[in-house]
């Protein structure tokens, strides 16, 4: 019986040593198996999500973190905007029977456009099938258009261009001209029966279309083209703001 007690003590000591070694091995294995960039909750830096208007929206996806900062007051890079106008495809919906066929260079001789950064012509043509459907007799053969978009360094410059254009057209055609204030940003002037000119500014762009003949039936076409051009300006401005 005297030999049993030391043996029990030795056995207990060996079991305890094995337990210590096993625990150390498991801990070491956990450290090795963890990816180099992975951190535990205790190791992660403290972060706070602000509810301010300009705070980032952070979405965590396994293996990726994307941060989108939205600022409604952010201004576009107008130099970049001026290069995008005419290069970004014109995909905005136009009133029938018109369709866009691209862009072209344009020279603007109006003195009120002197502060523009650039200007492009929006080339329009008739969709033959649609023209025949809407006008079986003449297929809109007498419809002529000239449309263009200008880019300005500031919203105020674009707005001043619109105001000056409106005043100039009223002064140039004082008799028999009807003014159609389509929105707070745009207007249409009618030199019946010769033409419709619809123009206006939105943000950093000014757009204008002249369409003939100036019948009442063609006002919707002219106004629809203007609306499409301003929407195109909005799209390109957004691209120039996000880059």
pLDDT tens by residue, 152-200: 999 999 999 999 999 988 888 776 466 666 677 899 988 767 899 999 9
CATH class of 78-242: alpha beta
Comparing CA positions, the residue from 145, 156, 147, 146 lying closest to residue 201 is 156
* Extents of the domains making up the chain: 4-68, 78-242
Q: How far is CA 178 from CA 106, 198, 199, in A?
A: 27, 12, 14
Residues sharing a CB contact under 8 Å with residue 88, sequence separation 6 or more, in sequence order: 232, 235, 236, 239
Comparing CA positions, the residue from 97, 92, 209 lying closest to residue 145 is 209
Q: Are 189 and 173 in contact (CB under 8 A)?
A: yes
Q: Tell me the percentage of the chain whose pLDDT exceeds 70.
A: 66
pLDDT confidence tier of residue 49, bands split at 50, 70 and 90: very low
End-to-end CA, the chain: 87
Comparing CA positions, the residue from 14, 10, 11 lying closest to residue 22 is 14
Global pTM value: 0.69
pLDDT tens string 113-152: 999 999 999 999 999 999 999 989 888 999 999 999 999 9
């Amino acid at each position: 019986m005297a030999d049993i007690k030391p043996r029990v003590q030795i056995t207990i000591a060996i079991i305890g040593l094995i337990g210590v070694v096993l625990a150390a091995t498991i801990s070491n294995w956990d450290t090795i198996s963890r990816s180099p960039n992975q951190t535990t909750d205790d190791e992660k830096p403290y972060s706070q999500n602000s509810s301010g208007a300009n705070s980032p929206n952070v979405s965590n996806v396994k293996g990726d973190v994307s941060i989108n900062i939205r600022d409604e007051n952010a201004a576009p890079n107008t130099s970049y905007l001026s290069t995008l106008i005419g290069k970004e495809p014109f995909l905005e919906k136009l009133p029938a029977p018109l369709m866009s066929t691209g862009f072209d260079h344009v020279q603007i001789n109006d003195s009120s456009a002197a502060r523009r950064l650039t200007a492009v012509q929006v080339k329009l043509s008739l969709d033959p099938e649609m023209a025949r459907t809407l006008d079986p007799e003449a297929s809109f053969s007498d419809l002529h258009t000239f449309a263009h978009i200008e880019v300005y360094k500031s919203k105020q410059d674009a707005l001043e261009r619109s105001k000056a254009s409106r005043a100039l057209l009223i002064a140039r055609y004082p008799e028999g001209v009807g003014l159609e204030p389509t929105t707070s940003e745009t207007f249409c002037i009618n030199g019946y029966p010769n033409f419709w000119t619809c123009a206006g500014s939105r943000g950093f762009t000014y757009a204008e279309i002249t369409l003939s003949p100036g019948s009442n039936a063609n006002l919707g076409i002219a106004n629809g083209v203007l609306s499409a051009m301003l929407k195109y300006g909005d799209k390109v401005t957004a691209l120039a703001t996000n880059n």
